[in-house]
Amino acid sequence: MIKQTLRSSWKFHNPNNGKWYDATVPGFIQTDLLSNNIIPDPFFRLNESDVQWIMEKQWTYRTFFSPKKEILDKNNKTLYFYGIDTFSDIFLNDELIISTNNMFHPWEKDVSKYLYSGLNELKVIFHSPIKKVLPLMDKIKHSLPAENDQAGKTSPFSRKAPYHYGWDWGPCLVTSGIWKNVQLHGWDSFNLNKCSILNVGVEKKCATLFLEVEVFSIKKESATISIEESKSNTSLQIPIEIEKGKNVIDKKLLITDPDLWWPSGHGEQPLYTFIITITSATDSFTFLKRIGIRDIFIKREKDKKGRSFEVHVNGKPIFSKGANWIPADSFTTRIKKEHYKQLLSAAKDANMNMLRVWGGGIYEPEIFYDLCDEMGIMVWQDFMFACSMYPADQKFLESVKEEAQYQVDRLKSHPSIVLWCGNNEIASGWLSWGWKEELPASVWNDYKKIFHEVLPNVCKELDPGRLYWPSSPGHSISLPESDQRYGSGDNHYWGVWHGGDGFEAFEEYVGRFMSEYGMQSFPEMKTVRKFAEDRDLDIESKVMVSRQKASLGTGNLIKYIKDYFNPIPGFKATVILSQVMQALAIKTAVEAHRRNMPFCMGTLYWQFNDCWPAISWSSVDYYGNWKALHYYAKRFFNPLIVTIHENKRDLEIHVINDQYKEYNSKLIFQVSKFDGSVIEEKSFNLKIEKASSNCVQTLDKQNLIQGHDKSELFMQAEIRLKKELVCSDIYFFVKPKYLKLNKPKYKYKVERKEGTISIEIEAFSFIYQLHILCENADGIFSDNFFDLLAGEKTIIYFYPKGEDIKTDFNFRLNTVQDITIKQVE
């Protein structure tokens, strides 16, 4: 089989002036208009609203190409469009060959009879994704809810990424385009349809894999399949008989003494690369499949409190730690390998072992899952349905089925994927957001068809080993009659932020698996400056309001900041304090979840990343910069943590270890004043059991305060292994805004040595939340947003993005003391 990728010489037609312009394939109309300077950058200032007209127009793409001679010489020529967003008619040499309506599966056509030698014209006419569905919407009497859709609630009718229509953290940029490769395949007798390798049984001494290859053949013939894998010394040549039509070739493979794949933090990620070749007298092709061997299942067992939700890997319950992943750009073809690598490394570096690919985005490309496989990041994979009700006519159901079949087959060999989830929050929407009161029962029946029939049937048929979980949050696999329950399944807790609750509420709402909860913040100033000018640096400016898509707005963010801090006037202070506040919120939540292990066995905060530079719940901004929360995440997701927890009159010290290792440690805690004087200090040896969460010390708060002014006190706890500090926590007896902190006194020195950039800091007074900003380069720090005790010294490293180490980096150090006014309780 011979391939030819049709990437070059694409042009698009601008209906506004009738001219043709250069286009990039894969790409989107918006990115092409941008690179031809026809539209301004939609991410800058208020430009989002100026580019809305694009979604109303019809766009034509065209290329002329000459097929390779080797392809023309073949009997069969198949044209593949791996992704078309979304409604288009495709013409080859003026013959209509394909009409598309789903961006989530490829489209193919036997073009043998339409292809010429010499120049061929390939044309794709994109219909407006908005106008195209209006007749469908007119057909039904009610309108379907689409909570975040800013484009006329048209999104439920299109199999297109829901977030393109706007979300409460993202712009409305309804794309059209050839968003994946276009390829021509020339083949003689057979062509590959799909290939997968599944783990079907993993024992210590032997793993059973199931290889499945589907080929389509135009004739009956004898062939050989060869399967080579060097790590396991697999080398097989098996004769096969290929029949005319569809052929499924399956083969059980045994791997003795397999090297098991583990989630990050629990072991290595060995991978096996299979080279599979099918050869006959007339045709041959080769492809690669890389897998990891592991046994994964989700234990859902009834107990007194409900039903558990625990990921087990290779027989061990694993506490899942991470966040919710959204598409990393509004225009996903801009996300390159390096970009994915940088973001996923940030997850791994912050001690995460799971990301949820949330249902309002896209099924991510191969590279995303490859990196997750390599890094040991487990993936909770949603199907792309979120916060809307969907139609379920025959045509729609068929489209959904084809999408699901394609995606499950494409992704199921990845060891990182742990479960399939039908949708995001749709059952909740129906049951609790007033939808069932407003809409006819048939809408719920349509829900049932998609999420309790089509999708589970596809999963059962193609990937029976993985759990299909109909909706997140959810408490059962059957059609629910009530919304989420704390005690069974997974939960989204939004009382903090959407409900206005204080952070303490995180401690009450702990479920078996917390798959969403969150708090907003601003991105750092450098990121703000990429979309805003001086005149926009005000939370109420039009530009800043346009960056806040959440219904409760920045007012809600300010309310939470003011609960904890008393900011000096000015935009910059708000930006920083929003990040510290967000980090404190999520620390409170995650520590509560981890303390409740093994009742709670997973925690994924909302949200990991951004699709544009904005105010949102993310911990890593659009440019990959870590917010305070991400530095905190690295600490609160550490395999071993100590937390000081206020429980009414008491302070409890909890030690949580999610590893299957025991430790002989030393626990040290002290109550001190900001001036450095120690009021009480204790230390003792502590044996930490494997996979445990224990309260190791309970102290009466009043006894500790001993008549001192509690606004001047703090308590610190730390765990040392041998002498090495592995984790610590600081507790304040009052909210940060009531702390009587003195002017911060410290000095620092920046040094460059052998390719490293370090900042040595020495504190002479208690420093609350020291943070370092690099003003002229993107990059991350070894640590940031931390406290320093009087007399403490630390060295922080800066890792610039990219390789540029020649720049003179401009570091600015700041503390919360510098940007807050003391307040009296």
Rounded least distance, CB 53 to ligand BMA, Å: 26
Q: Is 520 in the site for ligand BMA (CB under 6 A)?
A: no
Q: How far is the CB of 614 from ligand BMA (least distance, A)?
A: 12
Question: Per CB under 6 A, which region of 36-44, 166-174, 371-379, 564-572 contacts ligand BMA?
Answer: 166-174
How far apart, in Å, are the Cα atoms of 729 and each of 358, 419, 592, 726, 736? 32, 34, 14, 11, 15
Cβ atoms of 348 and 644 closer than 8 Å: no
Q: Compare residues 111 and 387 and give the one whose CB is closer to ligand BMA.
A: 387
Residue 346 as a binder of ligand BMA (CB under 6 A): the answer is: no
Using the rule CB under 6 A, give the single segment among 125-133, 163-171, 635-643, 681-689 that binds ligand BMA.
163-171
Q: Which is nearer to ligand BMA, 185 or 492 (CB)?
A: 492
Total residue length of the chain: 825
Name which of 466 and 492 has its Cβ closer to ligand BMA.
492
3-state helix, strand, coil in the chain (%, to 5): 25, 40, 40
331 or 606, CB closer to ligand BMA?
606
CB of 620 to ligand BMA, least distance (A): 16
Nearer to ligand BMA among residue 494 and residue 748 (C-beta): 494
Minimum distance from residue 406 beta carbon to ligand BMA (Å):
24
Q: x/- string (CB under 6 A) for ligand BMA, residues 764-803?
A: ----------------------------------------
**72 within 8 A of 120, measured Cβ to Cβ:** no
Least gap, CB of 298 to ligand BMA (angstroms): 20
Written as one string, the DSSP assignment of 92-141 is: ETTEEEEEE-BTTS-EEEE-TTT--SS-EEEEEEEPPTTGGGHHHHHHSS
Residues 88-117 that bind ligand BMA (CB under 6 A): none
Instruction: Identify residue 91 by its one-letter amino acid code.
Output: F
Which is closer to ligand BMA, CB of 498 or CB of 740?
A: 498
Q: For residue 225, what are the CA distances in angstroms to 2, 3, 244, 251, 768?
A: 18, 20, 17, 10, 65
Taking the C-alpha atoms of residue 694 and residue 655, their distance in angstroms, rounded to an integer, is 5
Pick from 32, 425, 621, 712 the residue near ligand BMA by CB under 6 A: 425
Backbone dihedral angles phi then psi of residue 812, each to the nearest 5 degrees? -125, 130
| Amino acid found at 286 | T
d(CA 311, CA 65): 50
Q: Please, which of residues 725-754 interact with ligand BMA by CB under 6 A?
A: none
- For residue 168, state whether it binds ligand BMA (rule: CB under 6 A): yes
Instruction: For residue 748, give the nearest of 758, 762, 766 by alpha carbon.
Output: 762
Nearer to ligand BMA, 261 or 493 (CB): 493
Residue 26's beta-bridge partner residues?
none
Minimal distance, residue 170 CB to ligand BMA, in Å: 8
Establish if 492 lies at the interface with ligand BMA (CB under 6 A).
Answer: yes
- Find the part of the chain contacting ligand BMA (CB under 6 A) among 24-32, 162-170, 364-372, 796-804: 162-170
Contact (CB, 8 A) for 668 and 680: no
Closest CA to 316 of 641, 633, 598, 642: 598
List the x/- string, 3-42, binding to ligand BMA by CB under 6 A: ----------------------------------------
Q: What are phi and psi of 560, to 5 degrees?
A: -65, -40
Per CB under 6 A, 516 contacts ligand BMA = yes
Q: Which stretch binds ligand BMA (CB under 6 A): 111-119, 161-169, 540-548, 723-731?
A: 161-169
451 contacts ligand BMA (rule: CB under 6 A): no
Q: How far is the CB of 492 from ligand BMA (least distance, A)?
A: 5
Of the pair 516, 524, the CB lying nearest ligand BMA is at 516
Segment interacting with ligand BMA (CB under 6 A) among 25-33, 167-175, 233-241, 404-412: 167-175
Minimum CB distance to ligand BMA, residue 421 (Å):
12
Can you tell me which of 28, 107, 167, 451 binds ligand BMA, judged by CB under 6 A?
167
One of 178, 227, 377, 387 touching ligand BMA (CB under 6 A)? 387
Residue 256 or 551: the one with the smaller Cβ distance to ligand BMA is 551
Contact 314, 260 (CB under 8 A): yes
Q: Residues 445, 448, 454, 456: what is their CA dihedral angle, to the nearest 10 degrees?
A: -170
**Residue 516 CB, nearest distance to ligand BMA (Å)?**
5
Asked if residue 411 lies in contact with residue 476, where contact means CB atoms within 8 angstroms, the answer is: no
The footprint of ligand BMA on residues 577-606 (CB under 6 A) is: 606
Element holding 431 (H helix, E strand): helix 426-432
Minimum distance between the CB of residue 552 and ligand BMA, rounded to whole angstroms?
A: 9
State which residue, 33 or 326, has the beta carbon closest to ligand BMA.
326
Tell me the three state secondary structure of residue 712: helix
Count the site residues for ligand BMA by CB under 6 A: 9
Task: Tell me how far, at minimum, the Cβ of 549 lies from ligand BMA, in Å.
Answer: 9
325, 326, 347, 602, 637 from 356: Cα distances, Å: 6, 9, 12, 11, 16
Cβ nearer to ligand BMA, comparing 174 with 326: 326
Pick 63 or 155: Cβ nearer ligand BMA: 155
Phi/psi for 774 (5° steps) reads -95, 115
* Rounded least distance, CB 381 to ligand BMA, Å: 15
Helix axes 553-564, 571-595, angle to 10 degrees: 70
Shortest distance, CB of residue 168 to ligand BMA, whole angstroms? 5
Cα 510-515-519 angle, rounded to 5 deg: 80
Q: How far apart are CA 397 and CA 635, in angstroms?
A: 45
Which single residue brings its beta carbon nearest to ligand BMA?
168
Check residue 563 for interaction with ligand BMA (CB under 6 A). no
Q: Which range touches ligand BMA (CB under 6 A), out of 71-79, 165-173, 662-670, 771-779?
A: 165-173
Task: Give the C-alpha separation, 354 to 601, whole Å.
Answer: 12
Cα–Cα distance measured from residue 733 to residue 674, given in angstroms and rounded to the nearest whole number: 12
For residues 602 to 631, the per-residue mask of contacts with ligand BMA, x marking binding by CB under 6 A and - elsewhere, is: ----x-------------------------
∠ Cα 593 594 598 (to 5°):
95
**3 state SS of 631:** helix
Note whether 149 binds ligand BMA by CB under 6 A: no
Q: Which is nearer to ligand BMA, 558 or 773 (CB)?
A: 558
Tell me the torsion sign for CA atoms 416, 419, 422, 423: negative
Q: Which of residues 660-679 bind ligand BMA (CB under 6 A)?
A: none
Under 8 Å between Cβ of 196 and 413: yes
Of positions 424, 711, 765, 820, contacts ligand BMA by CB under 6 A: 424
By CB under 6 A, residue 169 contacts ligand BMA? yes
- CA–CA separation, 62 and 22 (whole Å): 10
Q: What residues make contact with ligand BMA under the rule CB under 6 A?
A: 167-169, 387, 424-425, 492, 516, 606
